[in-house]
Amino acid sequence: MTRRVAGIAELAALVGGLWDQVFDVPDAAVKVNYGLGRVRFGVAIAPGDRVRMSVRLVATTPIARGTRLHVEQAIER
């Protein structure tokens, strides 16, 4: 029996592990994930599968003590 990755918790762990490879913000004291807008699970990912994450910066918005980034991400097997 093989375990498949599916669900919001596993998705968050996967994206969190890849996120620092995408954006380097050395002056940021804190990085906050405001949540997910739209999620679609097409295919389960098995342990050992290679994945690719593509990211597109859609917009930046100044906020009280920093900048909010609006990004679109896709994780593919």
How confident is the model over 4-61, as pLDDT tens digits?
555 667 777 777 777 777 777 777 777 777 777 777 777 777 778 888 888 898 998 9
pTM, full prediction: 0.63
Q: Is residue 72, in this structure, part of any structural domain at all?
A: yes
Count of domains for the chain: 1
Quick check: is 39 in a domain? Answer: yes
Minimal CA–CA distance to 55: which of 15, 25, 14, 13? 15
64's tokens: 């009280």
Cα–Cα distance for residue pair 53/51, rounded to 1 Å = 7
Report yes or no on 2 lying in a domain.
no
Please list, in sequence order, all residues whose beta carbon lies within 8 angstroms of the beta carbon of residue 10, skipping any fewer than 6 positions away.
Answer: none
Q: Considering the domain boundaries, does residue 1 fall inside one?
A: no
Domain of 24 in residue numbering reads as 8-76
pLDDT at 33: 74
